[in-house]
A and B are shown apart, each in its own frame.
Chain A
Amino acid sequence: MSRPWLLALGALVLALGLLVPVRARAEPWQQVLRQARGQTVYFDAWAGDQRVNTFIAWVARQVAACCDVTLRQVPLEDTSAAVTQVIAEKAAGDDSDGTVDLIWINGPNFYALKRRGLLYGPFAGQLPNAALLDARDRSNRFDFTVPVDGYESPWRKAQLVFVYDSAYVKHVPHGIRGFPAWARRHPGRFTFPQVQNFLGVAFLEQALYALTPDPSVLQHPVSQALFAQVTAPLWKWFDQLRPYLWRGGREFPVSGPAERQLLEDGEIDLMPSFSPTEAAADVAAGRLPRTVRSYVLRRGTIGNTSFVAIPYNSPHKAGAMVVANFLLSPAAQARAGNIRYLGGPTVLDLKRLSAAERAHFAALPHSPWMPSDPALRRVLPEPHPWWASRLAAAWERRYTP
């Protein structure tokens, strides 16, 4: 590549960087449906859970049948890859013909894109099914404390739970403070994913909730001094826990599924999971024995909502909206709530559904391997994304040799 060429590229990037992303205009839904017809929507979605992939394949069949939209899942190892992709396109000045149409997103990734104005919207309010959303549920409106503002649309809920095999361990810690003592009694039998992983950092945040006197500081960024003060009890607690972790706390599984594999292999007895239904589904499929249990801590655990967002440069925004709307439909939500397919609580307010639709939800099979419904109502809001990155960085600084 010649120098003038490089300069031209730089200039192009600069010029386009100054443009403000176009705001969405309110469009009647019929018009969206018409535009969506024949579009191919590339859906960037984390693909580490085969059941979610299968569910997305089912969604693809539905939207193809109802709305003539072709949905293609772009399997991601990590959602941040989609964020990087959109940023790279922005860097290259590709403002109208992006490769990503829809992203399964929340938390830090949403924050990263929204802050840079790289998301299309607000669009969520235009979706007809948005009217069915549970308005009382704060996590539908605030994603890790960041206002959603219509730039993403919810579709699933997740909550931190703990999974163990009751055949091997009888007593498990029901509060964060109980973990060091439990681990001392079961050395090497507990671990959590590395802190660069969302589940790993969520476990630290969960601990911070229990250990800091005033959890409200977690709702916004704080000063360096306050951060040190708030996290001091966390490090003290972790120093007590760490020597008794799997591999002496020097090594951690790279992701939730890798950690799940350790449980399956019998290398650990207890693990956190961000899916209240994961263990139940594995039991149902025969992958895990029926002695496996999952539970929520006594004072509740961090929960959040999964969203879908549309990048500012998606060429198939209408198609993407159709998919987002379908994900909110009672049919899709009932399927997602079915333990045979996915399982888990819905983002909808059942009172806003018709009686027939409500019956679908009432008829969903119940799994004894899931945490109880009252337990799943003990949800703590996610801290501000600032905390996740700061905690991970501080952890790395303290515990990386």
Chain B
Amino acid sequence: MRAPMLTTTAPSSSPRMRPTFWLRQAPRITMLLFLVPIVAGLAGTVLPAFGWLPALGGRELTFAPWLRLAEEPGVRWAIGLTLATGWTATIISVLLVLGLCARWHGRKPGRIGRAVFAPILAAPHAAMAIGVGFLIAPSGWLVRWVSPWLTGWHQPPDLATVQDPYGLALTLGLLVKEVPYLLLMTLTALGQLPVARQLEAAAALGYGRTAAWLKIILPQLYPQIRLPIYAVLAYALSVVDMALILGPSNPPTLSVLALRWFTAPDVRMYFPAAAAALLQLVIVLGSIAVWRTAEKIIARLGRRWIARGRRRSRLEPLAGLAAVLVSGLGLLGAGSLLVLAVWSFTARWRFPHILPSHWSAFAWREQVGTILWPLKTTLGVAVAASALAVVLVLGCLEYEQQRGPAPKSRSLWLLYVPLLVPQIAFLFGVQVLLTVSHLDGSLLAVVWSHLLFVLPYVFLSLADPWRSLDSRYARTALCLGASPGRVFLRIKLPLLLRSVLVAAAVGLAVSIDQYLPTLFAGAGRVVTLTTEAVTLASGGGRRVTGIFALLQALVPLIAYGSALGVSGRAGRRRVLAGVSA
């Protein structure tokens, strides 16, 4: 595993030229938009964690918040719970996705799976959590299917299948959401590798598919999905909305505990809350460091394993199992969305009925009037944030290509900071910054805060296709006398239209999913589908939640659909070209 950390595909050696003024500014503007809120945000968390927050009377630096944190009941359990759920969910997600790809990548069922996972990917975490919660609850859909004829249960059993003290339900919920995400990232990365040719070469040497995949494809793939994996790890360790719905509450995970104290009526709890947020940051960064170390050890052992030359892999049946489990997760996710749809038309649905006994469109009628405003806001913010992100990312990538292969730039790591740093650790500071600049509660602030999370994903999905575009196209055009700007507009952009549109759709979906950033930057005033859904979800109403969750899932889905549709013809042509090559 020798590939550099970030430059997943080596930048193609484009002809060097002096980028124009605006292009030169692209990386700078991007960095500025990032650095200011993150640094201010972290400062706004680190200082109170050590007792400094004059507005609340904290005027000296002390360790008191940490002592208070240590004294709070359940903190140790909460930390253990956080680590257990985060790590378990990440390890299982990675294993499942790799196992599935080893077995099915490039084959027909794999392509079908991709279509099934799209809506799950688009559905927001909170909505998915509510749906999964209803499926697996003791009074949930799964139990209802077999009750009372099989189980004999006329009343739901008192079993902790959701909000269990060990966070198993939370882990499951995370798997339902993170596996499709990781799968998409992995498939995208696989698209950049000559998988078929190399597997053929390995088969000619007598290697079975799974063995060849693990020994040949995985080591080349891994560096490309390393960051998405870290993002999953960071997310799973610091998730708030899913943990509120599926996780235990006594005590909850550390991030929920921190949020609980941040918003406690007793504002002195703000200090231990900041300490907890900082601890959350330490846990995430520490976990990533541990993961990185484990990677190195596994890579070293892996080389020996490869050199031993065994043709068959004992992991073959396990890869098959992964396919079964991922299908199970897919069904669970699809079932969750379906059951939410059913709930939105439910009047009464008591245990153990498999379907509602009374139906009603009341919830929809009630929402028609109130849904328009959040819907408009959601779309406006999402379109603005993802358009801005696409423009900035294209600017950065084009700058990188025109300037020529850059010395490996560590600063690009910054792009991933918002994905790796727990939101809770810097959003309050961001709120203070926005308040000082009188931007809080404005749409601009919300767009900006979304940009922090949208941009990395847009970058992730656009960088590889852009960098791996055959540089000869551009060179040929330049030889024909086209200016770099013209080459960009007339050659690169049309060639990569599909990638650009998909990246924009990814950005749209990410923006729609944002809960805490909208809440903090919007000062609660900017109401989106997600803030409504989470607020209503906290109210437990599955009917209205169902409506919002469906809309939330639908909007990004339409975006994906139209992205693929618009670029459909170009895309099909390329696929065919790939087959006959």
The reply, when asked whether chain A contacts chain B directly with Cβ atoms under 8 A, is yes
Interface residues in chain A, defined as those with a beta carbon under 8 Å from any beta carbon in chain B: 1, 6, 9-10, 12-14, 17, 42, 44, 47-50, 53-54, 57, 72, 74-78, 80-85, 87-94, 97, 99-100, 107-109, 111-112, 116, 168, 187-188, 194, 196, 246-248, 250-255, 257-262, 264-267, 285-289, 385, 389, 396-397, 399-401
| Least Cβ–Cβ distance between A238 and chain B, in angstroms | 14
What are the residues of chain A within 8 A of B436 when measuring CB–CB?
Answer: 9, 12, 92-94
What are the residues of chain A within 8 A of B164 when measuring CB–CB?
Answer: 251
In the complex, the answer to whether B542 meets A401 with C-beta atoms within 8 Å is no
From A57, A89, A248, residue with most partner B Cβ within 10 Å: A89
| Partner-binding segment picked from B262-270, B329-337, B467-475 | B262-270
Contacting residue for A266 out of B74, B139, B369, CB 8 A: B139
What are the residues of chain B within 8 A of A74 when measuring CB–CB?
Answer: 523-525, 527
| Least Cβ–Cβ distance between B68 and chain A, in angstroms | 12
Contacts A77-B534, A91-B435, A266-B352 aside, 7 further interface pairs with beta carbons under 8 A come to: A10-B54, A88-B435, A252-B249, A265-B350, A266-B351, A267-B156, A400-B73
In the complex, the answer to whether B55 meets A84 with C-beta atoms within 8 Å is no
Contact A84 B532, CB 8 Å, known A48-B538, A258-B540, A286-B347 = no
Contacting residue for A85 out of B40, B43, B158, B523, CB 8 A: B523
We find that the number of chain B residues with CB closer than 8 angstroms to chain A is: 75
Contacting residue for A265 out of B39, B351, B428, CB 8 A: B351
Interface residues in chain B, defined as those with a beta carbon under 8 Å from any beta carbon in chain A: 36, 39-40, 43, 52-56, 59, 72-74, 77, 137-140, 155-156, 158, 160, 163-165, 244, 248-251, 260, 262-267, 270, 347-352, 358, 360, 362, 366, 369-370, 428, 431-433, 435-436, 438, 440-441, 519, 523-525, 527, 531-532, 534-536, 538-542, 544
What are the residues of chain B within 8 A of A81 when measuring CB–CB?
Answer: 263, 519, 524
Q: In the complex, what distance in Å separates the CA atom of A48 from the CA atom of B541?
A: 8
- Nearest B residue to A49, CB-CB: B539
What are the residues of chain B within 8 A of A78 when measuring CB–CB?
Answer: 263, 538
Q: In the complex, what distance in Å separates the CA atom of A246 from the CA atom of B55?
A: 42
Contact A94 B435, CB 8 Å, known A1-B36, A48-B538 = yes
Q: In the complex, what distance in Å separates the CA atom of A287 from the CA atom of B350?
A: 9
In the complex, the answer to whether B347 meets A108 with C-beta atoms within 8 Å is no
What are the residues of chain A within 8 A of B536 when measuring CB–CB?
Answer: 47-48, 50
Contact A285 B248, CB 8 Å, known A10-B54, A17-B54, A267-B139 = no
What are the residues of chain B within 8 A of A85 when measuring CB–CB?
Answer: 523-524
In the complex, the answer to whether B538 meets A112 with C-beta atoms within 8 Å is no
- Nearest A residue to B432, CB-CB: A92
In the complex, the answer to whether B524 meets A82 with C-beta atoms within 8 Å is yes
What are the residues of chain B within 8 A of A252 when measuring CB–CB?
Answer: 249-250
- Nearest B residue to A73, CB-CB: B527
From A50, A72, A246, residue with most partner B Cβ within 10 Å: A50
Q: In the complex, what distance in Å separates the CA atom of A21 from the CA atom of B155?
A: 57
Contacting residue for B541 out of A14, A254, A257, A401, CB 8 A: A257
From B40, B139, B524, B532, residue with most partner A Cβ within 10 Å: B524
Q: In the complex, what distance in Å separates the CA atom of A10 from the CA atom of B251?
A: 35
- Nearest B residue to A259, CB-CB: B540
In the complex, the answer to whether B156 meets A266 with C-beta atoms within 8 Å is yes
What are the residues of chain A within 8 A of B360 when measuring CB–CB?
Answer: 286
In the complex, the answer to whether A13 meets B539 with C-beta atoms within 8 Å is no
What are the residues of chain A within 8 A of B248 when measuring CB–CB?
Answer: 251
Contacting residue for A42 out of B40, B137, B267, B525, CB 8 A: B525
Q: In the complex, what distance in Å separates the CA atom of A264 from the CA atom of B435?
A: 42
In the complex, the answer to whether B156 meets A265 with C-beta atoms within 8 Å is yes
Contact A287 B158, CB 8 Å, known A254-B249, A265-B139 = no
In the complex, the answer to whether B43 meets A1 with C-beta atoms within 8 Å is yes
In the complex, the answer to whether A112 meets B265 with C-beta atoms within 8 Å is yes
Nearest 3 CB-CB pairings of A with B: A48-B539, A91-B55, A188-B158
- Nearest B residue to A3, CB-CB: B43
Q: In the complex, what distance in Å separates the CA atom of A72 from the CA atom of B527?
A: 10
In the complex, the answer to whether A112 meets B55 with C-beta atoms within 8 Å is no
In the assembled complex, 7 residue pairs joining A and B whose CB atoms fall closer than 8 Å, in A order, are A78-B263, A81-B263, A99-B525, A100-B524, A194-B249, A250-B160, A267-B137
| Least Cβ–Cβ distance between A169 and chain B, in angstroms | 11
Contacting residue for B165 out of A17, A112, A251, CB 8 A: A251
Q: In the complex, what distance in Å separates the CA atom of A196 from the CA atom of B257?
A: 11
Contacting residue for A261 out of B251, B433, B540, CB 8 A: B540
| Least Cβ–Cβ distance between B161 and chain A, in angstroms | 10
Q: In the complex, what distance in Å separates the CA atom of A194 from the CA atom of B564?
A: 46
In the complex, the answer to whether B267 meets A91 with C-beta atoms within 8 Å is no
Q: In the complex, what distance in Å separates the CA atom of A82 from the CA atom of B358?
A: 38
| Least Cβ–Cβ distance between B40 and chain A, in angstroms | 5
- Nearest B residue to A76, CB-CB: B524
| Least Cβ–Cβ distance between B124 and chain A, in angstroms | 15
In the complex, the answer to whether B542 meets A261 with C-beta atoms within 8 Å is yes
- Nearest A residue to B256, CB-CB: A254
From A9, A91, A246, A285, residue with most partner B Cβ within 10 Å: A91
What are the residues of chain A within 8 A of B158 when measuring CB–CB?
Answer: 187-188, 246-248, 267
